[in-house]
Structure 1
Amino acid sequence: MRLILISGLSGSGKSVALRALEDAGYYCVDNLPATLLHETVGLYGQYGYDRIAVSVDVRSGPSLGALPVEMKKLRDAGFDVRLLFLEAKTATLVKRFSETRRRHPLSGQGLTVEECIREEQELLATIHDLGTRIDTSDLSASMLRTWIRDLTDADMNKLTLVFESFGFKHGVPLDADFMFDARCLPNPYYEPELRPLTGRDEPIAAYFRKAPIVEAMIDDIYQLVAKWLPAFGRDNRAYLTVAIGCTGGQHRSVYIAETLANRFGRDQVLLRHRELARAG
Protein backbone atom coordinates (compact mmCIF):
# COMPACT_ATOMS: atom_id res chain seq x y z
CA MET A 1 0.00 0.00 0.00
CA ARG A 2 1.13 3.53 -0.79
CA LEU A 3 0.39 6.15 1.87
CA ILE A 4 0.93 9.85 1.14
CA LEU A 5 0.86 12.14 4.17
CA ILE A 6 0.12 15.82 3.60
CA SER A 7 1.25 18.27 6.25
CA GLY A 8 2.57 21.80 6.53
CA LEU A 9 1.50 25.34 7.28
CA SER A 10 -2.10 26.50 7.17
CA GLY A 11 -2.71 28.42 3.97
CA SER A 12 0.10 26.66 2.09
CA GLY A 13 -2.23 24.64 -0.15
CA LYS A 14 -2.79 21.37 1.73
CA SER A 15 -6.44 21.22 0.64
CA VAL A 16 -5.43 21.73 -2.99
CA ALA A 17 -2.85 18.94 -2.69
CA LEU A 18 -5.34 16.57 -1.09
CA ARG A 19 -7.91 17.21 -3.83
CA ALA A 20 -5.24 16.61 -6.48
CA LEU A 21 -4.49 13.24 -4.93
CA GLU A 22 -8.18 12.41 -4.75
CA ASP A 23 -8.48 13.18 -8.48
CA ALA A 24 -5.49 10.86 -9.04
CA GLY A 25 -7.34 7.95 -7.44
CA TYR A 26 -6.24 8.16 -3.82
CA TYR A 27 -8.70 7.61 -0.98
CA CYS A 28 -8.31 10.83 1.02
CA VAL A 29 -8.82 11.63 4.70
CA ASP A 30 -8.52 15.19 5.99
CA ASN A 31 -7.43 16.21 9.50
CA LEU A 32 -6.76 12.79 11.00
CA PRO A 33 -5.04 12.58 14.41
CA ALA A 34 -1.59 11.02 13.95
CA THR A 35 -2.31 8.41 16.62
CA LEU A 36 -5.10 6.97 14.45
CA LEU A 37 -2.97 6.55 11.32
CA HIS A 38 -2.07 2.88 11.77
CA GLU A 39 -5.62 1.88 12.63
CA THR A 40 -7.12 3.86 9.75
CA VAL A 41 -4.69 2.58 7.13
CA GLY A 42 -5.21 -0.98 8.29
CA LEU A 43 -8.98 -0.58 8.12
CA TYR A 44 -9.03 0.80 4.59
CA GLY A 45 -6.50 -1.82 3.53
CA GLN A 46 -9.04 -4.49 4.49
CA TYR A 47 -11.48 -2.91 2.04
CA GLY A 48 -9.01 -3.15 -0.83
CA TYR A 49 -7.66 0.41 -0.94
CA ASP A 50 -4.00 0.43 -1.98
CA ARG A 51 -3.47 4.21 -2.32
CA ILE A 52 -4.40 6.45 0.60
CA ALA A 53 -3.67 10.14 1.27
CA VAL A 54 -4.06 11.63 4.74
CA SER A 55 -3.75 15.23 5.90
CA VAL A 56 -2.15 15.61 9.34
CA ASP A 57 -1.44 19.08 10.74
CA VAL A 58 -1.82 21.36 13.77
CA ARG A 59 -5.58 20.86 13.77
CA SER A 60 -4.82 17.42 15.20
CA GLY A 61 -3.62 19.02 18.42
CA PRO A 62 -1.14 17.20 20.71
CA SER A 63 -1.30 14.01 18.64
CA LEU A 64 0.80 15.73 15.94
CA GLY A 65 3.92 15.03 18.00
CA ALA A 66 3.36 11.29 17.51
CA LEU A 67 3.67 11.52 13.72
CA PRO A 68 7.39 10.52 13.45
CA VAL A 69 6.79 7.42 15.59
CA GLU A 70 3.63 6.47 13.69
CA MET A 71 5.41 6.84 10.35
CA LYS A 72 8.15 4.48 11.54
CA LYS A 73 5.59 1.94 12.74
CA LEU A 74 3.85 1.97 9.36
CA ARG A 75 7.12 1.56 7.46
CA ASP A 76 8.17 -1.29 9.75
CA ALA A 77 4.81 -2.91 8.97
CA GLY A 78 5.62 -2.81 5.25
CA PHE A 79 3.70 0.28 4.13
CA ASP A 80 5.22 2.67 1.58
CA VAL A 81 4.93 5.98 3.45
CA ARG A 82 5.84 9.39 2.03
CA LEU A 83 5.33 12.82 3.59
CA LEU A 84 4.79 15.99 1.54
CA PHE A 85 5.37 19.10 3.67
CA LEU A 86 3.87 22.29 2.22
CA GLU A 87 5.11 25.70 3.29
CA ALA A 88 5.22 29.30 2.13
CA LYS A 89 6.77 32.60 3.12
CA THR A 90 5.12 34.34 6.07
CA ALA A 91 4.13 37.39 4.00
CA THR A 92 2.47 35.12 1.44
CA LEU A 93 0.49 33.27 4.11
CA VAL A 94 -0.66 36.51 5.74
CA LYS A 95 -1.85 37.77 2.35
CA ARG A 96 -3.74 34.53 1.65
CA PHE A 97 -5.56 34.65 4.98
CA SER A 98 -6.41 38.29 4.36
CA GLU A 99 -7.79 37.56 0.88
CA THR A 100 -9.85 34.52 1.90
CA ARG A 101 -10.86 35.98 5.29
CA ARG A 102 -10.52 32.55 6.82
CA ARG A 103 -9.47 32.09 10.42
CA HIS A 104 -6.13 30.53 11.24
CA PRO A 105 -6.53 27.27 13.23
CA LEU A 106 -4.56 28.81 16.11
CA SER A 107 -6.42 32.13 16.13
CA GLY A 108 -8.51 31.06 19.13
CA GLN A 109 -5.50 31.82 21.33
CA GLY A 110 -5.94 35.55 20.73
CA LEU A 111 -2.93 35.80 18.43
CA THR A 112 -2.55 37.85 15.26
CA VAL A 113 -2.29 35.93 11.98
CA GLU A 114 1.47 36.50 11.86
CA GLU A 115 1.85 35.30 15.45
CA CYS A 116 -0.26 32.23 14.62
CA ILE A 117 2.04 31.42 11.69
CA ARG A 118 5.15 31.68 13.86
CA GLU A 119 3.54 29.47 16.51
CA GLU A 120 2.55 26.92 13.85
CA GLN A 121 6.08 26.86 12.43
CA GLU A 122 7.40 25.97 15.89
CA LEU A 123 4.80 23.24 16.37
CA LEU A 124 5.69 21.70 13.01
CA ALA A 125 9.47 21.91 13.51
CA THR A 126 9.73 18.23 14.51
CA ILE A 127 8.24 17.00 11.21
CA HIS A 128 9.60 19.74 8.97
CA ASP A 129 12.37 17.55 7.52
CA LEU A 130 10.67 14.15 7.56
CA GLY A 131 9.59 14.36 3.93
CA THR A 132 9.66 16.38 0.74
CA ARG A 133 9.22 20.12 1.22
CA ILE A 134 7.25 22.13 -1.32
CA ASP A 135 7.42 25.92 -1.26
CA THR A 136 4.08 27.17 -2.60
CA SER A 137 4.79 30.89 -2.17
CA ASP A 138 4.85 31.56 -5.91
CA LEU A 139 2.65 28.71 -7.14
CA SER A 140 -0.87 28.96 -8.47
CA ALA A 141 -3.33 26.26 -7.46
CA SER A 142 -3.09 24.66 -10.91
CA MET A 143 0.72 24.52 -10.77
CA LEU A 144 0.63 23.01 -7.29
CA ARG A 145 -1.74 20.31 -8.53
CA THR A 146 0.67 19.57 -11.39
CA TRP A 147 3.66 19.31 -9.05
CA ILE A 148 1.76 17.04 -6.67
CA ARG A 149 0.78 14.73 -9.52
CA ASP A 150 4.37 14.67 -10.83
CA LEU A 151 5.78 13.82 -7.40
CA THR A 152 3.29 11.08 -6.63
CA ASP A 153 3.49 9.52 -10.11
CA ALA A 154 7.21 8.89 -9.62
CA ASP A 155 8.43 5.45 -8.56
CA MET A 156 8.48 5.64 -4.78
CA ASN A 157 11.18 2.97 -4.58
CA LYS A 158 13.69 5.21 -6.37
CA LEU A 159 15.18 8.57 -5.47
CA THR A 160 13.68 11.29 -7.68
CA LEU A 161 15.85 14.24 -8.67
CA VAL A 162 14.04 17.57 -8.88
CA PHE A 163 15.75 20.44 -10.72
CA GLU A 164 14.17 23.82 -9.97
CA SER A 165 15.04 27.14 -11.61
CA PHE A 166 14.18 30.41 -9.87
CA GLY A 167 14.94 34.12 -9.79
CA PHE A 168 16.74 35.58 -6.78
CA LYS A 169 14.82 38.84 -7.13
CA HIS A 170 11.65 36.92 -6.27
CA GLY A 171 13.17 35.21 -3.23
CA VAL A 172 14.90 31.86 -2.73
CA PRO A 173 12.84 28.63 -2.65
CA LEU A 174 12.31 27.13 0.79
CA ASP A 175 12.32 23.53 -0.42
CA ALA A 176 15.84 23.27 -1.91
CA ASP A 177 18.32 20.63 -0.72
CA PHE A 178 21.12 22.10 -2.88
CA MET A 179 21.14 25.69 -4.15
CA PHE A 180 23.46 27.15 -6.80
CA ASP A 181 23.88 30.78 -7.88
CA ALA A 182 24.25 31.33 -11.65
CA ARG A 183 24.27 35.13 -11.52
CA CYS A 184 28.02 35.19 -12.23
CA LEU A 185 27.44 33.79 -15.74
CA PRO A 186 26.92 35.83 -18.95
CA ASN A 187 23.39 37.21 -19.10
CA PRO A 188 21.44 37.15 -22.40
CA TYR A 189 18.99 39.64 -20.89
CA TYR A 190 21.29 42.38 -22.16
CA GLU A 191 20.91 41.17 -25.76
CA PRO A 192 17.68 42.83 -27.05
CA GLU A 193 16.83 39.99 -29.45
CA LEU A 194 17.31 37.35 -26.70
CA ARG A 195 15.59 39.14 -23.82
CA PRO A 196 12.03 37.89 -24.56
CA LEU A 197 13.18 34.25 -24.84
CA THR A 198 13.78 31.67 -22.10
CA GLY A 199 16.44 29.10 -21.34
CA ARG A 200 14.33 26.55 -23.20
CA ASP A 201 14.81 28.30 -26.55
CA GLU A 202 17.56 27.29 -28.97
CA PRO A 203 19.00 30.83 -29.48
CA ILE A 204 19.58 31.02 -25.71
CA ALA A 205 21.20 27.58 -25.71
CA ALA A 206 23.47 28.64 -28.59
CA TYR A 207 24.42 31.78 -26.65
CA PHE A 208 25.46 29.73 -23.62
CA ARG A 209 27.32 27.10 -25.65
CA LYS A 210 29.72 29.84 -26.72
CA ALA A 211 30.63 30.55 -23.07
CA PRO A 212 32.94 27.88 -21.55
CA ILE A 213 32.24 29.16 -18.04
CA VAL A 214 28.60 28.04 -18.35
CA GLU A 215 29.57 24.47 -19.24
CA ALA A 216 32.14 24.51 -16.42
CA MET A 217 29.45 25.36 -13.85
CA ILE A 218 27.11 22.70 -15.23
CA ASP A 219 29.91 20.10 -15.02
CA ASP A 220 30.71 21.06 -11.43
CA ILE A 221 27.06 20.83 -10.34
CA TYR A 222 26.63 17.51 -12.16
CA GLN A 223 29.70 15.95 -10.54
CA LEU A 224 28.70 17.12 -7.05
CA VAL A 225 25.12 15.86 -7.30
CA ALA A 226 26.15 12.58 -8.97
CA LYS A 227 28.75 11.93 -6.26
CA TRP A 228 26.31 12.37 -3.37
CA LEU A 229 23.18 10.93 -4.99
CA PRO A 230 23.80 7.36 -3.75
CA ALA A 231 24.25 8.59 -0.17
CA PHE A 232 20.90 10.41 -0.27
CA GLY A 233 19.31 7.29 -1.74
CA ARG A 234 20.64 5.16 1.13
CA ASP A 235 19.10 7.68 3.54
CA ASN A 236 15.63 6.60 2.33
CA ARG A 237 15.04 9.94 0.65
CA ALA A 238 12.26 9.95 -1.93
CA TYR A 239 13.23 13.28 -3.52
CA LEU A 240 16.30 15.51 -3.79
CA THR A 241 15.69 19.09 -4.93
CA VAL A 242 18.50 20.98 -6.67
CA ALA A 243 17.69 24.67 -7.14
CA ILE A 244 19.54 26.91 -9.61
CA GLY A 245 18.96 30.63 -9.41
CA CYS A 246 19.73 33.63 -11.59
CA THR A 247 18.45 37.18 -11.36
CA GLY A 248 15.04 36.80 -13.00
CA GLY A 249 14.70 33.03 -13.36
CA GLN A 250 14.19 33.19 -17.13
CA HIS A 251 17.47 32.47 -18.93
CA ARG A 252 20.54 31.14 -17.08
CA SER A 253 18.85 29.10 -14.34
CA VAL A 254 16.31 27.62 -16.78
CA TYR A 255 19.01 26.56 -19.25
CA ILE A 256 21.16 24.96 -16.53
CA ALA A 257 18.21 23.11 -14.99
CA GLU A 258 17.16 21.80 -18.41
CA THR A 259 20.72 20.72 -19.26
CA LEU A 260 21.22 18.93 -15.96
CA ALA A 261 17.88 17.14 -16.24
CA ASN A 262 18.86 15.90 -19.71
CA ARG A 263 22.30 14.86 -18.53
CA PHE A 264 20.94 12.80 -15.64
CA GLY A 265 18.26 11.28 -17.86
CA ARG A 266 14.51 11.80 -17.79
CA ASP A 267 13.80 8.68 -15.70
CA GLN A 268 13.10 9.74 -12.12
CA VAL A 269 13.96 13.36 -12.93
CA LEU A 270 11.48 16.22 -12.57
CA LEU A 271 11.80 19.82 -13.78
CA ARG A 272 10.35 22.92 -12.17
CA HIS A 273 10.70 26.44 -13.56
CA ARG A 274 9.23 28.60 -10.83
CA GLU A 275 9.24 31.96 -12.55
CA LEU A 276 8.12 30.57 -15.92
CA ALA A 277 5.24 28.81 -14.19
CA ARG A 278 4.26 32.01 -12.40
CA ALA A 279 4.36 33.92 -15.67
CA GLY A 280 1.97 31.38 -17.16
Structure 2
Amino acid sequence: MSGSGKSVALKTLEDLGFYCVDNLPAELLPEFVRSVAGDDGAPDKLAVGIDVRNRHSDLANIPDWLSAVGAMGLDPRLVFFDTQDTVLLRRYADTRRRHPLSHLGLVLADAISLERQVLKPLRRIADSVIDTSTLNVHQLRRTVITEFGLGGDETLSLLFESFAYRRGVPPEADFVFDARVLPNPHWNPELRPLAGRDPAVREYLEAQPEVAEYSSQVATFLDHWLPRLRSDTRSYATIAFGCTGGRHRSVYLAEHLAAHCRERGWGEVAVHHRELD
Protein backbone atom coordinates (compact mmCIF):
# COMPACT_ATOMS: atom_id res chain seq x y z
CA MET A 1 0.00 0.00 0.00
CA SER A 2 1.27 3.46 -0.87
CA GLY A 3 2.34 5.17 2.35
CA SER A 4 3.04 1.91 4.18
CA GLY A 5 6.83 2.34 4.23
CA LYS A 6 7.96 0.49 1.10
CA SER A 7 10.55 3.16 0.26
CA VAL A 8 12.02 2.94 3.76
CA ALA A 9 12.13 -0.83 3.44
CA LEU A 10 13.92 -0.69 0.08
CA LYS A 11 16.49 1.75 1.41
CA THR A 12 17.11 -0.52 4.39
CA LEU A 13 17.48 -3.55 2.13
CA GLU A 14 19.99 -1.58 0.06
CA ASP A 15 21.99 -0.95 3.25
CA LEU A 16 21.91 -4.71 3.83
CA GLY A 17 23.54 -5.42 0.47
CA PHE A 18 20.48 -5.99 -1.70
CA TYR A 19 20.47 -4.74 -5.29
CA CYS A 20 17.30 -2.63 -5.23
CA VAL A 21 15.03 -1.25 -7.95
CA ASP A 22 11.85 0.71 -7.25
CA ASN A 23 8.75 1.12 -9.41
CA LEU A 24 9.84 -1.46 -11.98
CA PRO A 25 7.11 -2.12 -14.58
CA ALA A 26 5.82 -5.50 -13.44
CA GLU A 27 5.99 -7.01 -16.92
CA LEU A 28 9.77 -6.46 -16.92
CA LEU A 29 10.34 -8.48 -13.75
CA PRO A 30 11.50 -11.76 -15.39
CA GLU A 31 13.69 -9.96 -17.93
CA PHE A 32 15.23 -7.74 -15.25
CA VAL A 33 16.06 -10.70 -13.02
CA ARG A 34 17.43 -12.65 -15.99
CA SER A 35 19.63 -9.71 -16.98
CA VAL A 36 21.01 -9.00 -13.50
CA ALA A 37 21.42 -12.63 -12.43
CA GLY A 38 23.27 -13.47 -15.63
CA ASP A 39 26.05 -10.92 -15.17
CA ASP A 40 29.48 -11.81 -13.88
CA GLY A 41 29.69 -10.85 -10.22
CA ALA A 42 25.90 -10.67 -10.06
CA PRO A 43 24.42 -9.73 -6.67
CA ASP A 44 23.01 -12.66 -4.72
CA LYS A 45 20.19 -10.60 -3.20
CA LEU A 46 17.67 -8.60 -5.21
CA ALA A 47 14.75 -6.47 -4.06
CA VAL A 48 12.20 -5.06 -6.51
CA GLY A 49 9.53 -2.55 -5.51
CA ILE A 50 6.26 -2.83 -7.43
CA ASP A 51 3.14 -0.86 -6.53
CA VAL A 52 -0.19 0.41 -7.79
CA ARG A 53 1.49 2.79 -10.24
CA ASN A 54 1.73 -0.24 -12.53
CA ARG A 55 -1.05 -1.04 -14.96
CA HIS A 56 -3.66 -3.04 -13.09
CA SER A 57 -3.61 -5.77 -15.74
CA ASP A 58 0.14 -6.17 -15.14
CA LEU A 59 -0.37 -6.48 -11.39
CA ALA A 60 -2.77 -9.34 -12.02
CA ASN A 61 -0.03 -11.19 -13.91
CA ILE A 62 2.57 -10.95 -11.14
CA PRO A 63 1.99 -14.57 -9.96
CA ASP A 64 2.91 -15.80 -13.44
CA TRP A 65 6.00 -13.61 -13.58
CA LEU A 66 7.10 -14.78 -10.13
CA SER A 67 6.78 -18.34 -11.40
CA ALA A 68 8.98 -17.38 -14.35
CA VAL A 69 11.61 -16.09 -11.92
CA GLY A 70 11.37 -19.33 -9.96
CA ALA A 71 11.92 -21.30 -13.18
CA MET A 72 15.33 -19.60 -13.45
CA GLY A 73 16.42 -21.48 -10.33
CA LEU A 74 15.84 -18.55 -7.98
CA ASP A 75 13.62 -18.43 -4.91
CA PRO A 76 11.34 -15.37 -5.17
CA ARG A 77 9.55 -14.11 -2.09
CA LEU A 78 6.59 -11.75 -2.22
CA VAL A 79 6.40 -9.35 0.73
CA PHE A 80 3.36 -7.11 1.10
CA PHE A 81 3.58 -3.89 3.13
CA ASP A 82 0.22 -2.93 4.56
CA THR A 83 -1.20 -0.22 6.82
CA GLN A 84 -4.66 0.48 8.21
CA ASP A 85 -6.69 3.02 6.25
CA THR A 86 -7.01 5.42 9.18
CA VAL A 87 -3.23 5.48 9.56
CA LEU A 88 -2.73 6.02 5.83
CA LEU A 89 -5.12 8.98 5.90
CA ARG A 90 -3.16 10.52 8.76
CA ARG A 91 0.21 9.92 7.08
CA TYR A 92 -0.93 11.56 3.85
CA ALA A 93 -2.33 14.49 5.84
CA ASP A 94 0.97 14.89 7.70
CA THR A 95 3.21 14.66 4.63
CA ARG A 96 0.82 16.39 2.20
CA ARG A 97 1.93 13.98 -0.51
CA ARG A 98 -0.39 13.03 -3.37
CA HIS A 99 -1.70 9.49 -3.60
CA PRO A 100 -0.58 7.67 -6.79
CA LEU A 101 -4.23 7.29 -7.87
CA SER A 102 -5.18 10.91 -7.24
CA HIS A 103 -4.81 11.62 -10.97
CA LEU A 104 -8.10 9.74 -11.40
CA GLY A 105 -9.88 12.58 -9.64
CA LEU A 106 -10.58 10.53 -6.52
CA VAL A 107 -10.61 11.90 -2.99
CA LEU A 108 -7.94 10.36 -0.79
CA ALA A 109 -10.20 7.87 1.00
CA ASP A 110 -11.55 6.58 -2.31
CA ALA A 111 -8.05 6.33 -3.80
CA ILE A 112 -6.91 4.22 -0.85
CA SER A 113 -10.00 2.04 -1.16
CA LEU A 114 -9.40 1.45 -4.88
CA GLU A 115 -5.74 0.68 -4.29
CA ARG A 116 -6.62 -1.87 -1.63
CA GLN A 117 -9.11 -3.52 -3.99
CA VAL A 118 -6.54 -3.72 -6.80
CA LEU A 119 -3.78 -5.11 -4.54
CA LYS A 120 -5.98 -7.53 -2.58
CA PRO A 121 -5.06 -10.56 -4.76
CA LEU A 122 -1.36 -9.89 -4.21
CA ARG A 123 -1.79 -9.57 -0.47
CA ARG A 124 -3.62 -12.90 -0.47
CA ILE A 125 -0.70 -14.76 -2.07
CA ALA A 126 2.11 -12.90 -0.28
CA ASP A 127 4.71 -15.01 1.49
CA SER A 128 4.66 -12.48 4.33
CA VAL A 129 2.69 -9.35 5.23
CA ILE A 130 4.32 -6.57 7.24
CA ASP A 131 1.75 -4.31 8.88
CA THR A 132 3.36 -0.94 9.61
CA SER A 133 0.29 0.65 11.24
CA THR A 134 1.98 0.92 14.64
CA LEU A 135 5.59 1.24 13.46
CA ASN A 136 7.63 4.42 13.17
CA VAL A 137 10.42 4.61 10.62
CA HIS A 138 13.05 3.33 13.06
CA GLN A 139 10.94 0.36 14.13
CA LEU A 140 10.25 -0.46 10.49
CA ARG A 141 13.95 -0.45 9.68
CA ARG A 142 14.61 -2.78 12.59
CA THR A 143 11.80 -5.08 11.43
CA VAL A 144 13.30 -5.25 7.94
CA ILE A 145 16.79 -5.86 9.29
CA THR A 146 15.52 -8.63 11.56
CA GLU A 147 13.41 -10.20 8.82
CA PHE A 148 15.83 -10.05 5.90
CA GLY A 149 19.26 -9.17 7.24
CA LEU A 150 20.23 -12.50 8.74
CA GLY A 151 22.77 -14.58 6.92
CA GLY A 152 22.81 -17.47 9.39
CA ASP A 153 21.91 -18.54 12.87
CA GLU A 154 24.87 -16.74 14.41
CA THR A 155 24.64 -13.54 12.37
CA LEU A 156 24.18 -10.27 14.23
CA SER A 157 22.68 -7.45 12.17
CA LEU A 158 23.92 -3.98 13.13
CA LEU A 159 22.09 -0.68 12.78
CA PHE A 160 24.12 2.50 13.32
CA GLU A 161 21.86 5.46 14.02
CA SER A 162 22.49 9.18 14.50
CA PHE A 163 20.11 11.45 16.40
CA ALA A 164 19.65 14.84 18.03
CA TYR A 165 19.43 14.86 21.83
CA ARG A 166 16.87 17.65 21.70
CA ARG A 167 14.44 15.17 20.12
CA GLY A 168 15.19 12.40 22.58
CA VAL A 169 17.27 9.24 22.64
CA PRO A 170 16.05 6.47 20.29
CA PRO A 171 14.21 4.05 22.60
CA GLU A 172 15.34 1.02 20.60
CA ALA A 173 19.09 1.76 20.97
CA ASP A 174 21.25 -0.90 22.63
CA PHE A 175 24.32 1.36 22.94
CA VAL A 176 24.23 5.17 23.07
CA PHE A 177 27.33 7.34 22.63
CA ASP A 178 27.25 11.07 23.34
CA ALA A 179 29.21 13.07 20.74
CA ARG A 180 28.48 16.49 22.26
CA VAL A 181 31.92 16.48 23.90
CA LEU A 182 33.55 16.78 20.44
CA PRO A 183 34.27 19.96 18.42
CA ASN A 184 31.09 21.12 16.69
CA PRO A 185 31.19 21.96 12.96
CA HIS A 186 27.97 23.92 13.48
CA TRP A 187 29.99 26.90 14.63
CA ASN A 188 31.83 27.06 11.30
CA PRO A 189 29.59 29.09 8.94
CA GLU A 190 30.83 27.18 5.90
CA LEU A 191 30.09 23.79 7.47
CA ARG A 192 26.82 24.65 9.22
CA PRO A 193 24.50 23.91 6.25
CA LEU A 194 26.31 20.64 5.49
CA ALA A 195 25.99 17.23 7.16
CA GLY A 196 28.36 14.61 8.52
CA ARG A 197 28.32 12.71 5.23
CA ASP A 198 29.77 15.67 3.32
CA PRO A 199 33.53 15.55 2.60
CA ALA A 200 34.20 18.99 4.09
CA VAL A 201 32.65 18.01 7.43
CA ARG A 202 34.50 14.67 7.46
CA GLU A 203 37.80 16.41 6.80
CA TYR A 204 37.15 18.92 9.58
CA LEU A 205 36.29 16.22 12.13
CA GLU A 206 39.10 13.88 11.13
CA ALA A 207 41.56 16.74 11.68
CA GLN A 208 40.48 16.99 15.34
CA PRO A 209 42.59 14.81 17.71
CA GLU A 210 39.62 14.39 20.09
CA VAL A 211 37.48 12.89 17.31
CA ALA A 212 40.17 10.37 16.38
CA GLU A 213 40.60 9.37 20.02
CA TYR A 214 36.84 9.12 20.57
CA SER A 215 36.14 7.01 17.49
CA SER A 216 39.13 4.76 18.23
CA GLN A 217 37.91 4.06 21.76
CA VAL A 218 34.35 3.36 20.56
CA ALA A 219 35.71 1.01 17.88
CA THR A 220 37.68 -0.87 20.52
CA PHE A 221 34.57 -1.13 22.69
CA LEU A 222 32.47 -2.48 19.81
CA ASP A 223 35.15 -4.93 18.72
CA HIS A 224 35.18 -6.38 22.22
CA TRP A 225 31.46 -6.44 23.07
CA LEU A 226 29.57 -6.99 19.82
CA PRO A 227 30.81 -10.59 19.49
CA ARG A 228 29.49 -11.19 23.01
CA LEU A 229 26.03 -10.11 21.84
CA ARG A 230 26.24 -12.49 18.91
CA SER A 231 27.05 -15.38 21.21
CA ASP A 232 24.12 -14.37 23.40
CA THR A 233 21.66 -15.42 20.65
CA ARG A 234 20.89 -11.79 19.74
CA SER A 235 19.87 -11.24 16.12
CA TYR A 236 20.34 -7.45 15.92
CA ALA A 237 21.84 -4.49 17.76
CA THR A 238 21.37 -0.74 17.40
CA ILE A 239 24.33 1.54 18.11
CA ALA A 240 23.27 5.18 18.40
CA PHE A 241 25.34 8.38 18.33
CA GLY A 242 23.82 11.64 19.53
CA CYS A 243 24.81 15.28 19.26
CA THR A 244 23.02 18.58 19.59
CA GLY A 245 21.45 18.83 16.14
CA GLY A 246 21.97 15.30 14.81
CA ARG A 247 23.56 16.59 11.59
CA HIS A 248 27.34 16.65 11.95
CA ARG A 249 29.20 14.77 14.68
CA SER A 250 26.69 11.99 15.24
CA VAL A 251 26.24 11.42 11.51
CA TYR A 252 29.99 11.24 10.95
CA LEU A 253 30.50 8.78 13.79
CA ALA A 254 27.63 6.53 12.69
CA GLU A 255 29.03 6.35 9.16
CA HIS A 256 32.62 5.93 10.37
CA LEU A 257 31.89 3.15 12.86
CA ALA A 258 29.58 1.38 10.42
CA ALA A 259 32.43 1.32 7.90
CA HIS A 260 34.76 0.03 10.62
CA CYS A 261 32.41 -2.86 11.41
CA ARG A 262 32.05 -3.74 7.74
CA GLU A 263 35.85 -3.88 7.48
CA ARG A 264 35.90 -6.15 10.53
CA GLY A 265 33.69 -8.65 8.71
CA TRP A 266 30.22 -7.77 9.98
CA GLY A 267 28.21 -8.48 6.84
CA GLU A 268 24.85 -7.01 7.82
CA VAL A 269 25.43 -3.35 8.65
CA ALA A 270 22.88 -0.58 8.04
CA VAL A 271 22.96 3.15 8.79
CA HIS A 272 20.07 5.48 9.59
CA HIS A 273 20.26 9.22 10.29
CA ARG A 274 17.09 10.12 12.16
CA GLU A 275 17.27 13.84 11.54
CA LEU A 276 18.32 13.57 7.89
CA ASP A 277 16.55 10.55 6.39
Q: Give 1:86-165 correspondences, 5 Å limit.
A: 86-131=81-126, 132-154=128-150
- Do the aligned residues in 1 keep the contact of 2:16 with 2:149 (CA within 8 Å)? no
* Aligned match for 2:45, one of 13, 27, 51: 51
- The letter of the residue matching 1:52 is L
CA distance in 1, matches of 2:31, 2:38: 11
TM-score w.r.t. length of structure 2: 0.52
CA distance in 2, matches of 1:92, 1:84: 20
- Do the aligned residues in 1 keep the contact of 2:83 with 2:132 (CA within 8 Å)? yes
CA distance in 2, matches of 1:76, 1:42: 11
CA distance in 1, matches of 2:145, 2:72: 26
Alpha-carbon offset, residue 148 of structure 1:
0.8
**What secondary structure, in the 3-state scheme, does the structure 2 residue paired with 1:82 have?**
coil
What residue number does 1:17 align with? Answer: 9
What residue number does 2:60 align with? Answer: 65
- The letter of the residue matching 1:41 is V
**What secondary structure, in the 3-state scheme, does the structure 2 residue paired with 1:134 have?**
strand
Q: CA RMSD in A?
A: 2.0
CA distance in 1, matches of 2:131, 2:67: 25
Q: Give 1:226-245 correspondences, 5 Å limit.
A: none
What residue number does 2:186 align with? Answer: none
CA distance in 2, matches of 1:49, 1:66: 26
- Number of paired residues? 152
CA 1:82–1:154: 2 relative to 1, 3 Å: farther
- Do the aligned residues in 2 keep the contact of 1:33 with 1:64 (CA within 8 Å)? no
Unmatched 5+ stretches in structure 2? 153-232, 237-277
Alpha-carbon offset, residue 76 of structure 1:
2.3
Which structure has the larger Rg? 2
**What secondary structure, in the 3-state scheme, does the structure 2 residue paired with 1:18 have?**
helix
CA distance in 2, matches of 1:155, 1:76: 24
CA distance in 1, matches of 2:22, 2:46: 11
Alpha-carbon offset, residue 155 of structure 1:
6.5
Alpha-carbon offset, residue 153 of structure 1:
2.8
CA distance in 1, matches of 2:145, 2:33: 21
Alpha-carbon offset, residue 129 of structure 1:
2.2
Q: Deviations over 1:105-133 (max 9, x none)?
A: 00011111111110000000111122210
**What secondary structure, in the 3-state scheme, does the structure 2 residue paired with 1:11 have?**
coil
Alpha-carbon offset, residue 154 of structure 1:
4.5
Alpha-carbon offset, residue 77 of structure 1:
2.1
Unmatched 5+ stretches in structure 1? 1-8, 157-265, 271-280
Comparing 115-124 and 63-72, the one that deviates more? 63-72
Alpha-carbon offset, residue 23 of structure 1:
0.6
- The letter of the residue matching 2:43 is Y
CA distance in 2, matches of 1:49, 1:13: 24
Q: Deviations over 1:131-173 (max 9, x none)?
A: 21011011011110111111113479xxxxxxxxxxxxxxxxx
Q: Which runs of 4+ in 1 moved over 3 A?
A: none
What is the percent sequence identity of the aligned residues? 39
CA distance in 2, matches of 1:155, 1:71: 23
